[in-house]
Amino acid sequence: MIKRFFPLLMAALLAASCGTTQSPQDKLTVNDKKIDQIIAQMTLEEKVNMLHSKTNMSSAGVERLGIADMHYADGPFGIREEGVPNGFQSAGWKLDSATYFPTGSALAATWSREMAYLYGTGMGTEARLRGKDVILGPAVNIQRLPVGGRTYEYLSEDPILSAALSLQYTLGVQDKGTAVCIKHFAVNNQETNRGSVDAQIDERTLREIYLKPFESAVVEGGAMSVMPAYNKVNGDYCSENEHLLNEILRGEWGFKGFTVSDWGGTHSTMGAMLHGLNVQMTGSNYLGQPVIDSIATGALTEALVDEKVKQILRVRYAIEAIPDDVANTKMTSQPECQDIAKQVAEKSIVLLKNQGGVLPIAKSVKKIAVIGQNAVLKTQSGGMGAGVKALYEVTPLEGICKRAGADVEVKYAPGYKNFPGRRWGPPSATVDPLVASAIDEAADPDLCAEAVALAQEADLVIFFGGTNKSIETEGSDRQNIDLPTGQNEVVAALAAANPNLVTVLISGGPTDLRQLEPVSPAIVQGWWNGTEGGTALAEVLFGDIAPSGKLPFTFPAKLEDSPAYALGNFPDKTQGGDLFTLMYRQDRTRMSREEIQEMMAKMPKPVSKYTEGSLVGYRWYDTKNVKPMYAFGHGLSYVDFEYGAVKASAKKDVVKVTFNLTNKGGMTADEVVQLYVARPEATVEWPSKELKAFDRVTLAAGETKTVTLEIPVKDLRYWNVDKNAWDLEHGKLVLLLGAASDDIRQQAEVTI
């Protein structure tokens, strides 16, 4: 079961290269004849009825012909609780508590194809129990901005890492008989003005960086559905973007399934119909009656409707519909899925710093002071679509207490106030002493003093800082990456009271550590790590397992160093709008959908310029010689790994690197080995180096393994804008093998 993903991928690749079997997308066409016959029996009304929402989370089938409705479920990290038919409010069900899987950047920190595949199977299994046909995920956009509201939902700033994991997640979900709806296609990298912003990007960057994770899931993984994003790309909304949907997705990638607009992200009848959308979610004001009217006037043809229905039915027949009396008869969260969530969490935790070997926690430690509300606050809900009603969630404090056992005393103090995010409606009448009214509120002197008193008595202090899912959330970007509510002051006071201090950051994206880093000898990135997050964290802190996560994005020293900020591309002060947020905040707007759409049309048209091109994340820091706080790919272990000399070879289709890797320590540990490529003599412009291959290797204490990394030559191509095609520049490649983008251990040269 665990190795399932390897044969599957190999089979897909072999099939593609030998041209013997159908491609993953072509497999969707097996029922085409039957589908044509069924469509011939449908009325126009029945067909059009399939092109828009039926409820907030379903689109219609045709009962008369035995075609079941299509049931959708958020989201990327757990099957979302059942909502009422026409909104996101809870339906109040009892059996819909799901497994909460680690969030996107945590999954990516495992750098593990195996974990991504298992994760997908876990999501697929639970979706089936709930009678869901399509999972609205994975979410695979590139993490362009450190402040991005959905940075934590997305996987990585690097396309090769994102693509490898997006592919495996897709295979895992679909192997369980559920379709993915890979999102948000494409260039959805900011929440600011997300419903109106035009991402202006050059074709080479679009292809090489931003489309890569989608391309792998569609072409190699056979992703059955795709969700166009809210934003525009180069002038057109993604849900009616000819270039993205018709030319690239269907034309070049051979996509045979269907597209579903993001909720509230459909913008016109003609645009959507002509330029690649299948289903309007939600509402029917564009892809309902107006389609029928447009056919009557001759503006649209019924043949176009037939084609769209056929694309939907291909998925409908590929996914077994689960009858209502079979679905939801068991609890959604299943033990084997909880175990997957635990395995992912264990491999995701990143040891950023460990000066003087503070970690793992020494046997002599008998009194631990756990400070910080992030040790006790649950992280399953919040973040809008990506929230999960978890069956259970082990918090960091619970994990530590359980693992510490009876002979270690663990005491907790909140340390700082929590900032629960923007509040709608009138201010609350009661004042909660643990809740801040502003994100940048200074440290609370009483809470700080209480924490310092605990720290003074303890052998070890573990400070839990970071953000929360109201600060990092869909719908808005952070204003900055500062640690909120005086956390820097609190940690400085704790360090003065007791220098035996570990900081654990509970967040999904990077934070500014300039003040915290000098006073904290050990720092751990602990993520929003799912149902078993606290258990996994305790295992790492106490040294039951060695930490093995590696950063999937750069921690900049300061926000202004990051590429989009440095070039003035972000933030843009123009106030555009977010249709989704407005539509579902009718308590605030008191406007109809149509009025909101009219208002949106009159709003300013914000633009996001991607002039940094492919210099996203570490590509920028490396090329511009800007030192980050922690580099892409960084992550320490409790052991040292020795990288032996590399043997490199280049053949027509593949570049190979082989080397010995030795665990020099006294415990089993995993290392994520990373292979970067530099092209010193290229005539085409490139970043100073780019990740091209990686693997996770498990080694027992003292063990040596021979590791081979392969780079398919097709991944070394660039998008030639003049030819409007992929192209390969031959010449010298420098292969840089290392433990992080800033920790290169061996190198070799080949010529391709």
Residues of this chain that interact with ligand BGC (CB under 6 A) are 74-75, 136, 183, 262-263, 385, 474, 580
Q: Specify the residue, 154 or 527, whose C-beta has the smaller distance to ligand BGC.
A: 154
Q: Which residue has the tokens 């030639």?
A: 720
Distance of CA 222 to the CA centre of its chain: 19
Question: Judged by CB, which is closer to ligand BGC: 385, or 414?
Answer: 385
Q: Which residues of 79-93 are buried (b: 16+ CB within 10 A; e: fewer)?
A: bbbbbeeeebeeeee
Closest CB 190 distance from ligand BGC, rounded Å = 13
Name which of 153 and 690 has its Cβ closer to ligand BGC.
Answer: 153
Distance of alpha carbon 655 from alpha carbon 657, whole angstroms: 7
The residue (of 134 and 451) whose beta carbon lies closer to ligand BGC is: 134
Minimum CB–partner distance for residue 75 and ligand BGC (Å): 5
Q: Is the dihedral of CA 272, 273, 277, 280 positive or negative?
A: positive
CA nearest 557: which of 587, 586, 526, 515?
Answer: 515
Nearer to ligand BGC, 147 or 504 (CB): 147
Residue closer to ligand BGC (CB basis): 178 or 674:
178
325 part of the active site: no
What is the spatial distance between Cα 157 and Cα 144, in angstroms, rounded to a whole number? Answer: 6
Shortest distance, CB of residue 90 to ligand BGC, whole angstroms?
14
Other beta carbons within 10 Å of 352: 22
Distances (CA, A) of 181 to 30, 150, 228, 579: 20, 17, 10, 21
Of 133, 158, 262, 670, the active-site residue reads 262
Nearest to 104 by CA among 144, 71, 143: 143
In angstroms, give the least distance from the CB of 656 to ligand BGC.
39
Q: Which is nearer to ligand BGC, 208 or 472 (CB)?
A: 472
Strands (E), 345-466: 350-354, 367-371, 409-413, 460-466
133 close to 81: Cβ distance less than 8 angstroms: no
Helix (H) or strand (E) holding 620: helix 618-623
Total residue length of the chain: 752
- What would the two tokens of residue 746 be? 């061996």
Contact of 500 with 519, CB cutoff 8 Å: no
The structure tokens 């041209």 sit at 19
- CB neighbours (10 Å) of residue 261? 28
Q: For the CB of residue 474, give the shortest distance to ligand BGC in the complex, in Å.
A: 6
Task: Quote the least distance from Cβ 470 to ligand BGC, whole Å.
Answer: 16
Question: What is the enclosing helix (H) or strand (E) of 207?
Answer: none
In the complex, the smallest distance separating the C-beta of residue 643 from ligand BGC, rounded to whole angstroms, is 40
Burial degree of 423 (CB within 10 A; 0-12, 13-18, 19+): exposed
| Catalytic (active-site) positions | 262
